[in-house]
Amino acid sequence: MSGLVCPHCGQMVEIFPESHERRALLDDLPLLGRIPLDPVAVTNGDKGYPIVVSLVDSPVAKVFLEVATQIMQRVALLHAQATEGKAEQAPDDKEEDTHEREA
C-alpha cells in the first residue's frame, strides 16, 4: 500500500514515508505498483464486490489491473523460459536413452 485516496477530493495522501532501508531491502524485487488505500475499495470488497469490477475506472482499480497485467506478463515470460530450457534439453535426453538401451 502506498497512501490514502482522500474521500473528499480524490487526491493521494502519502501516509507511509519512503524508507531508504526498506527500499534497499526491496531493490532486488520489481515494484509492481503502488496501491492506494481507498475506503470505497474496502467497503465494496467487504460486500463481495471487487473494486476492479465495481469501480473499474477508479485509481485503485487501475493500479490493481496494472499489477495483474505485470504478473501475467512475468509468469508468461518465466513459463516461456522454462519451456525453452526443457525443449533444448529434450534431444540430449533422448540420445542418452538410446545409448542406455544399446548397452
Backbone angles phi, psi at 78, to 5 degrees: -65, -40
The pLDDT tens digits for 51-94 are 999 999 998 999 999 999 999 999 999 999 999 877 666 555 55
With a cut of 80, say whether residue 1 has pLDDT above it. no
Q: How far is CA 102 from CA 61, 97, 99, in A?
A: 61, 9, 5
Query: How far is residue 98's CA from residue 96's CA, in Å, rounded to a whole number?
Result: 5
Which pTM value belongs to this model?
0.62
